[in-house]
């Protein structure tokens, strides 16, 4: 039996989201199919951020399909995220599975219902991914004018940023959250068309205002968008196969340059989430599923 804690002792100080980081080790990282995701934390420091530290959870690439990523698995993940000291949750796209993936496809409405349980003071904000257009039956039937995924998320009152921005207030510090539509949300990712529109997305953002960009595909980072200090992306699944840092299956025009993790180019920061689900092949090799935790703080902030 443990001794009771005296009620007059001060609480143990928390380091925030870093306390919740948890990653597989050793052989448990090598071959992963299903199961609980890792929680990976990045601490981003930028002198342009003048507000209190901002704690973000980024979830991406759900690809809900049984038995690899079941609604019950998503439910447990939502419960774990809700227990964290978050300011904001962002959803980075690909809610449905790629068509060649073996398994029993879930209803996107059920996925949206689970995600609607996420809670954070600054809300839950979403963008769409390429599979939310390319593999969506309604999108294919309407020549990619509509998306059942988009309808399902909005029916659950989850804001979806479609080349638009929203102004948020973090403890009296205003900033902007900008969302691109998918860069590859069309029939084929090499057909030369794209749905993202940077100028439209940033149209309402005042010059010099602090902004965070949500873009499903990390290739958007190569555009060197100076209006956003931080870009959060998914799409790659960390390459889904990682051979000692070589990720040959990364779906990117830039090989594995933006395959996973933290990247800094010029003065901009990029964090690429490894994502939760599986695409085409229900197996990850040394690239476990993850929920990505990000703390954005200014220089000198505790």
Q: What is the mean pLDDT of each run of 10 residues along the chain (302 residues)?
A: 40 73 91 90 97 98 91 94 97 92 87 97 97 92 93 98 98 98 73 82 97 97 96 97 93 94 96 94 94 94 64
Handedness of CA 99, 104, 107, 111 (dihedral sign): negative
Task: Kindly state the tokens that stand for 181.
Answer: 């539509």
State pTM to two decimals.
Answer: 0.92
Residue 118 lies in a domain: yes
DSSP code at position 181: P
CATH number at residue 108: 3.60.21.10
Residue 249 lies in a domain: yes
Residue 10 lies in a domain: no
Residue 253 lies in a domain: yes
Query: Residue 219 has what pLDDT?
Result: 96
Domain residues for the domain of 115 are 27-297
Provide φ and ψ at 89, rounded to 5°: -120, 135
CA distances from 46 to 15, 17, 296 (A): 18, 18, 8
Query: Residue 101 has what pLDDT?
Result: 86
Residue 136 lies in a domain: yes
CA distances from 175 to 2, 109, 164, 273 (A): 46, 31, 14, 22
Residue 7 lies in a domain: no
DSSP code at position 82: H
Number of structural domains in the chain = 1
């Amino acid at each position: 039996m443990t001794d009771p804690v005296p009620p007059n002792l001060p609480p143990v100080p928390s380091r925030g989201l870093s306390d919740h980081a948890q990653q597989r080790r050793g052989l448990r990282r090598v071959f992963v199919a299903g199961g609980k995701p890792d929680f990976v934390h990045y601490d981003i420091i930028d002198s342009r951020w003048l507000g209190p530290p901002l704690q973000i959870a980024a979830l991406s690439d759900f690809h809900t399909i049984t038995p690899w990523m079941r609604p019950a698995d998503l439910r447990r993940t939502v419960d774990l995220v809700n227990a964290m000291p978050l300011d904001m949750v962002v959803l980075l796209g690909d809610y449905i599975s790629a068509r060649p993936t073996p398994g029993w496809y879930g209803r996107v409405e059920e996925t949206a219902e689970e995600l609607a349980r996420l809670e954070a003071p600054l809300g839950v904000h979403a963008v769409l991914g390429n599979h939310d257009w390319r593999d969506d039956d309604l999108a294919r039937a309407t020549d990619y004018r509509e998306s059942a995924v988009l309808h399902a998320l909005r029916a659950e009152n989850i804001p979806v940023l479609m080349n638009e921005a929203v102004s948020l207030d973090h403890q009296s510090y205003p900033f902007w959250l900008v969302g691109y539509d998918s860069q590859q949300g069309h029939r084929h990712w090499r057909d030369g068309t794209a749905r993202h529109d940077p100028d439209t997305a940033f149209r309402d953002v005042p010059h010099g205002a602090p902004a965070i960009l949500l873009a499903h595909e990390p290739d958007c980072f190569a555009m060197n968008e100076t209006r956003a200090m931080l870009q959060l992306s998914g799409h790659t699944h960390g390459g889904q196969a990682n051979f000692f840092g070589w990720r040959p299956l990364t779906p990117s025009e830039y090989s594995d340059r933006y395959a996973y993790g933290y990247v800094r180019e010029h003065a901009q920061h990029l964090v690429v989430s490894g994502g939760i689900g599986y695409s085409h092949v229900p197996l990850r090799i040394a690239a476990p599923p993850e929920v990505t935790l990000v703390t954005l703080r200014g220089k000198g902030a505790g």
